[in-house]
Chain A
Amino acid sequence: MPRESLIEVEQVSRYYGAHLAASNISFTVHRGDILGFLGPNGAGKTTTMEIISGVLAPSSGNVRIAGHDMAAAAQQAKQHIGFLPEQPPLYPDLCVDEYLLYCARLRRLKKSALAVAVAECKARCGLEEVGSRLIGNLSRGYQQRTGIAQAIIHNPSVIILDEPTSGLDPIQIREIRALIQELGQGHSVILSTHILPEVQGICNRVLIIHEGRLVLDQGLDLLHKGADQTLRIRIGLHTPPDMAELLALDGIESVELMDDHRFMLACNTQADATAMIVHAAVSRGWGLYELVPESDSLEATFMRLTQGDFPVQGSAREDISS
């Protein structure tokens, strides 16, 4: 089923002076996508998000939001965008109600819709009780929520959140994640984060950006499926045997020496590798003291792509929509 594409990023590059912050980035986001944007610090995540939201202009390439070109029809395109920057864009000397009202007006909401919009987004972000308090006096968590409220007040079809859960306590993080999932149903959401489990928890697609280049664009289900063929297990042995002896075990595909006592095993998921390793270790007296299944395939992928050399995009790119 073809879905409406809300964000189209075409070969966007951005220079800061001579420094290339984003290089030839292209991707498409459809309605209903929740896109996790990952990358080490300084990889170009924020630059890319600011280009999509119209805060920065790309040095080359173009962005279309809901069919409107960001350069040619900025006003129509921006009408569809809700953006939460890394630092929430708040006026500390306004109270929450005044601030949200101003944001709604900046987004050109109709006068009759203002009160409803403010009340609705306050309810969604749990801000009902702080409406008349000065933003500058709110805690970090409430400020962050006000920032999110500002991004969704005009019910935009594209919501861009730069690290939306930073500074929140665990309960608030859960609430915000639930809110993002709810938003993802009717809109498209891009969120950047450093917390990998967060992406696995709420996103259905992941983009990894490294040194300004897009190195992965894949649906999370595909990512799991690809990784499920082999299971990686880290083991620690007091009296380790030869590598060859480990490799000879049933279902073990490769063995990697991590230090004197620890090994990384790649096992075939068909065999019950864990039980077999434990059995062998006990019966042959290897002194097993550690066994950690590295089930976190996203983290493994992230590490692989952002550390050391790798080919650009190419085989890693698979658009789930196609």
Chain B
Amino acid sequence: MSVILHISGNELRRLFKSPLAWIILAIVQFLAAIFFYLLLAQFMNPAGSGQGLTATVVAGTLQIAGIILLLVSPLLTMRLFSEEHRHGTIKLLMSSPVSSSELVIGKYIGITVFYLCMLGMITLMPLSLLPGTELDLGQLGSGLLGLFLLMSAFAAIGLFISTLTDQAGVAAVSTFAVLFVLWIINVAGNSASERMAQVFSWLSLLRHYDNLLNGMFNSVDVIYYLLITAGFIILSIWRLDARRRHG
């Protein structure tokens, strides 16, 4: 177990040593803050939609944060394995008494801790409303859980794609494409038969997130994200083993 944590620690340390991580933290915060402000201003407008504060501002901000994360997440995960292969450091890891699962899980925990930092900073914005008003904490909690699950899925998908290529740029673009397709796949359902529409809309990362944002905690949504996350982590482990055998 401790070796997993050392791998995570090393991943985090190297992430925070690069300017990229700091810039991403800053940009995500900046963009989310702009939308937070806009939504707040909209809510304060007397001719508002009539929905509550939590539904308008908090859920709105978290939804936007999800989209921003979709855009920047590939940049965070692209280096995970592609760079190890490119720098040859994968040979250090592979010749060390560390299994592929420990390696993948270690790296995954490392990147997830970074996402948690980001989540913490985003959470500060809705929390800043607390001194002045009352929030639906249940809805806030379910929204944050949704965002966290979404991030976990992003991280797992990015992790897997970075094992496929030695080029960080290729990994980033491919990850973005996959995330984007998973995000908008329910649109494809509109023109298909009813049954296909259901399948597509079930597959969509967006729909399950919307449920949680609206304060509907449905175990199906949570299981969906956990399945995606676990699935891609297992695929990454397989991929590393396959590379050792055939690569």
Q: Is the interface of A mostly helix, strand, loop or mixed?
A: loop
Of B22-30, B87-95, B135-143, the one touching chain A: B87-95
* Contact, CB under 8 Å: B17 / A89: no
Minimum distance in angstroms from A114 CB to a CB of chain B: 11
Return chain A residues, CB-CB under 8 Å to B187.
Answer: none
Is B244 a contact partner of A91 (Cβ separation < 8 A)? Answer: no
B244→A93 contact, CB < 8 A? no
* A78 CA / B87 CA spacing, docked (Å): 21
Highest count of chain A CB atoms <10 Å: which of B13, B14, B88, B94: B94
**Interfacial residues of chain B within 1-58, with CB under 8 A of chain A in the complex:** 2-3, 6-7, 10, 13-14, 17-18
Determine whether B99 belongs to the interface, using a CB cutoff of 8 Å to chain A: yes
Contact of B99 (CB < 8 Å), options: A75, A93, A98, A102: A75
Give 1 or 0 for each of B227-247: 1 = CB within 8 Å of chain A CB: 000000000000000001101
State whether the Cβ of B98 lies closer than 8 Å to any Cβ in chain A.
yes
- Collect the chain A residues with CB atoms within 8 Å of residue B6's CB: 102, 105-106
- Summarize B's interface: helix, strand, loop or mixed: helix
B3 contact set on A, CB distance < 8 A: 105-106, 108
Q: Do A90 and B89 touch across chains, with their CB atoms under 8 A apart?
A: yes
**Complex contacts, B88 vs chain A, CB 8 Å:** 85-89
Q: In this complex, what residue of A is CB-closest to B92?
A: A89
Distance A192 CA – B106 CA, assembled complex (angstroms): 33
Q: Which residues of chain B from 59 to 105 have a CB within 8 Å of any chain A CB? A: 87-99
Q: Choose among A83, A91, A94, A108 the residue that contacts B95 (Cβ–Cβ < 8 A).
A: A83
Interface residues of B (CB under 8 A from A): 2-3, 6-7, 10, 13-14, 17-18, 87-99, 244-245, 247
Closest 10 CB pairs of A and B: A89-B92, A83-B95, A106-B96, A78-B97, A105-B6, A53-B95, A55-B94, A89-B89, A87-B88, A75-B97
Interface residues of A, Cβ cutoff 8 Å to B: 50, 53-57, 74-76, 78-79, 81, 83, 85-94, 98, 102-103, 105-108, 150
